[in-house]
Amino acid sequence: METAQSHWVKIHPLIVRITHWINAFAILMMATSGWRIYNASPFFPFRIPSEITLGGWLAGALQWHFAAMWLLVLNGIVYVTYGIVSGHFRRKFFPLWPRDVVRDVLGAFRGKLAHDDLSMYNAAQRAAYLAILLCLVVLVFSGLAIWKPVQFQEIAGLMGGYEGARIVHFCAMALMVFIVLVHIVMVMLVPRTFPTMITGRARRAS
């Protein structure tokens, strides 16, 4: 009887792994410090529990937020430049069809989403990663409108002014955090995907 053979294949290039973990750290810092900033002047009828915020007080939270912002922007430039120049985005994220996204999202809810080939993203993953990129773009521009509402008044105007930019910024953050949490749950359900983002390799049956 022949036994199944397996071999290691490259899944994630080094630059993708490094930028992924830097992004994860920066997003965590920005979200938790942003919650502390929000608590200083909430515009919804609730506050974020202080135990999951960062900064201790408004000035401290602003310092963490700006430090993480520059880290996120610089790291994002590296990632996006690599993704476009190398063709990584084209290979990993496209083509993407709405019917495939709906099919895979429903499959995930039923626990029947296939992960046989870890080198390929399914439609749900592609949509999630593109949504995160879109959220980050919205966060950057709305953040600029909040930070410098006079200098970037054209951007703020597109969002309904300073207060509108705050709401857009918060909603984009909430959507991004939700997508990240779903991503973490999916990793927990398919734990063999986690080591690939550290080693960059996965075992594939021949």
pLDDT digits 0-9 by tens, 116-165: 656 677 777 788 888 888 888 898 899 889 888 888 889 998 898 898 99
Q: Would you put residue 47 in left (φ > 0), alpha (ψ -120 to 50) or beta?
A: beta
Predicted confidence at residue 110, as pLDDT, reads: 67
Predicted confidence at residue 88, as pLDDT, reads: 81
Cβ contacts of residue 72 below 8 Å, gap of 6+? 23, 26, 27, 30, 136
Single pTM value for the model: 0.79
Which two tokens mark 16?
Answer: 């993708």
Query: Where is pLDDT greater, at 131 or 33?
Result: 33
| Domains in the chain with CATH codes | 14-205 (1.20.950.20)
Q: Is the pLDDT of residue 3 over 50?
A: no
